[in-house]
Amino acid sequence: MIEAVLSDIDGTLVQSNWLHAAAWQDAFSVAGIDLEVEEVQRQIGKGGDELIPVFVPWWKRMAIEEPLKKYRQFVFRTDYLHRVEPFPKVRELFLRMRESGIKISLASSANEEELKAYKKIANIDDLVEKSGSADDVKRSKPHPDIFEATLKKLGLSHQQVLALGDTPYDAEAAGKAGIWTVGVTTGGWNKKELLAAGCIEVYTDVADLLEHFERSAFLTI
């Protein structure tokens, strides 16, 4: 029986992936690196430690990585956070999971400050028991560290949980921790891409998962 969900939040529960991509685009531009927002969007789901090396050569990285991360956080918080909205039926899905005895936890590459804001935006603060964020680990997705840290907080094994995410990086990170992932296509990746990354089933969004919850992996595994 599945005892807990380890849910991503950016692009899964709240509509933020393109806003994060725009914030990174702004930050990279200040560093003299001009990128199309679509290029950056394909990397959203990773933390800054994994995203920055895609676009910054190794010999520049040590000098600009930390300032770039901090400036990106400032830009996102100042210019984009107020535009983040929840996807429909997020709270209803989590209430349905709790009715089935499934604990709610978050496993996100966002930092703790952003995570707190997202929980309020999605109206799920009172439903979440444990959270794992970028502040808990040294390596972000697609490394398994965030999932492993969240499992430890829950006191559960990988066989007792499922991940919920919207990017291949969620599925890859969870898979490295021995966790199966249910995917949603709201992060900009299609069903075929998410299945290829290791998702065991894929839904259009969390509302679609709620509609088919009785037949989903959360109740049938």
Q: Considering all CA atoms of the chain, what is the largest pairwise distance in Å, rounded to the nearest integer?
A: 52
User: Mean pLDDT score of the chain, rounded to an integer?
Assistant: 96
Tens digit of pLDDT for each residue in 56-112? 999 999 999 999 999 999 999 999 999 999 999 999 999 999 999 999 999 998 889
Q: Helix (H, G, I), strand (E, B), or coil: what is residue 16? A: coil
Could you tell me the two tokens for 163? 């991940």
pLDDT at 1: 87
Q: Is the pLDDT of residue 154 over 90?
A: yes
> 134 falls in which pLDDT band (50, 70, 90)?
confident
First to last CA, the chain: 6
Q: Of 18, 16, 10, which is closest to residue 45 (Cα–Cα)?
A: 10
pLDDT at 23: 98
**207: Cβ–Cβ under 8 A, 6 or more apart, which residues?**
87, 88, 89, 93
Judged on CB neighbours under 10 Å (0-12, 13-18, 19+), 59 is exposed
Q: What is the pTM (predicted TM-score) of this model?
A: 0.95
86 preceded by a cis bond (ω within 30 of 0): no
Separation between Cα atoms, residue 55 and residue 69, nearest integer Å: 13
